[in-house]
A and B are shown apart, each in its own frame.
Chain A
């Protein structure tokens, strides 16, 4: 009987622990991508300022409410503007930023292709 009780306790506690751990990982991931707007060069995750601590609570609450990562980002973007996100979103202001490395990569590739592979032929 004792073994059964123990088994039941373990059985019920473990999934809850996993769930909490998952939420914690998600919370850390989100707070690492949020800029602490009143600190210099720190994410919300790194900072211990009043602002960052409140933001961490809000992120926790939003995860508990069942919001997805994207929804949480757009919530903060709505309140504080895009600057709060470390990963800039793809829009008309940032498409150059995202596409420039690709452009350089392809131009470089074309140069290499021209120089070496065509020469070999």
Chain B
């Protein structure tokens, strides 16, 4: 009996290790971030781009409307691509677009908005990129659809036509 137990346990360990490695092989090694939804927006003090005023984020999103928080920068090329979509989205009265100006200079940002139009109701000035971290963002561009102080959808990367249609369906 004892003699059988040793090969059996060795075989069992090998089988367990084999299963773990086999499962690991099937997993993709490209990390896809979890897009958790329906969580509260972070409460933090932020600096506004135009007035240099310090306000709380909850203050910005207090109305009973849909908000699209868009992280952008003048040096970010995909932001240029998605800009016409933002300009299109603000035609709907039920949606307000709020910007986070990420690691940018005010001069360049103003030039960018002058050239392509300003879809933003308010802009948060985020010189060090720490406000974007507060929102759990990875970089630019990134957008969050917010309703009643909750994030209901997160878009990583530039918005495209299909995401625009989706946002329009949400805010209807």
- Interface, chain A (partner B; CB < 8 A): 37-38, 50-51, 53-55, 57-58, 61, 79-81, 83, 100, 104, 107, 111, 114-115
Contact = CB atoms under 8 A, between A and B. Distances in A.
Contacts of B6: 111, 114-115
Contacts of B16: 100
A54 B129 contact: yes
Contacts of A51: 129, 138-139
Given A107-B13, A111-B6, A38 B129 contact: no
Nearest to B134: A79
Nearest to A61: B130
A107 B9 CA distance: 8
Interface in B29-80: 31, 33-34, 36
A41 to B, nearest CB: 10
Given A61-B130, A81-B34, A38 B139 contact: yes
B23 to A, nearest CB: 11
Interface in B129-161: 129-130, 132-136, 138-139
A38 B138 contact: yes
B91 interface: no
A54 B2 contact: no
Given A79-B135, A111-B10, 12 more contacts: A37-B33, A38-B138, A38-B139, A51-B129, A54-B132, A57-B129, A57-B130, A80-B33, A83-B33, A100-B16, A104-B13, A107-B9
Contact of B33 (A57, A61, A81, A100): A81
25 contacts: A37-B138, A38-B138, A38-B139, A50-B139, A51-B129, A54-B103, A54-B133, A55-B133, A57-B128, A57-B129, A57-B130, A58-B130, A58-B133, A79-B133, A79-B134, A79-B135, A79-B136, A80-B136, A81-B33, A81-B36, A104-B13, A107-B9, A107-B13, A111-B9, A115-B6
